[in-house]
Amino acid sequence: MIKIIFMFIFFIHSFLAFSAELSLINTREGKKLAFIEKRKDYFITEWDILVEPASKTTESSDKSNSRRFGRWKDGIIPFVVDDSIPNKDRIFQAIDYFHENTKIRLVEKTSQSDYVFFKNNGSSDCSSFIGKKGGKQVIHISDWCEKGSIIHEVLHALGFNHEQSRPDRNKFIKIHWSNIQFKYIFNFFRSPFARSYGEFDMDSIMLYPSFNGFAKNPDKPTMSLRTGETWMAQREKMSEQDLMGLEEFYNPEFE
């Protein structure tokens, strides 16, 4: 009996510590179940992916979800930069990177109704929706978000998911569930809207590091290769596979 009581207490404590809720969200494939976390006036999953609970949309907007969450026409993203963001150069450095290395073009907004708004998010997170959402689409820029992290967030807006969330990831990496803080476990579930390209890419700018802030013991990894090896995340540039995946996704033949 005492053992059962302790197990019950542990379960209640764990449940209360869990920071996410299971909710239907809108994706380009329609409504999907996912664990989401409320931050300020928005919802997030996988630490930096903005999501829109299905309950927040109207019936008329529901009908167009699968169309709206997807590619930007001709790879062109109109944008506006929040005047209150400090050190705006980091945003323009990220934009220059896309112009110099890809066919994607970010252009200053004029009369376009669909555009990205780089919004000041203070000391909080850098975060972005997956793919084109339609209308004014926020990319949060925190004080610590530098050029490489901004490239990462823009790739989310272009339709890219985290590499470690791809459906086939278990063939390549191991998730160390026992070393993940319970309230952050949902960040390591495979994504309900993940799209992957080629083999698992250890060099991808979309891959999180083995050692991160989700760990119970920061000296131990939350993820490793199946062989036990760990890795550092890079936020310098897109990998060759990132570049090929972007080119494939924005190939006119697939429009």
Active site residues: 153
Distance CA(236)–CA(240), nearest Å, equals 13
DSSP string, 157-223: HHT---GGGSTTGGGTEEE-GGGB-GGGGGGGSPPTT----SS--TT-TTPPPSS-TTBSSTTS-SE
Tokens standing for 20? Answer: 């996410």
The DSSP bridge pattern shows strands 76-81 and 115-120 to be: parallel
Cβ(152)–Cβ(95) under 8 Å? Answer: no
Distance CA(58)–CA(62), nearest Å, equals 6
Other CB atoms within 10 A of residue 85 CB: 18
**DSSP category for residue 53:** B
Strand ranges of the sheet holding 42-45, from the earlier edge strand across to the other edge: 21-27, 30-39, 42-45, 49-51, 127-128, 136-141, 115-120, 76-81, 105-108
Gap between the terminal Cα atoms of the chain: 62
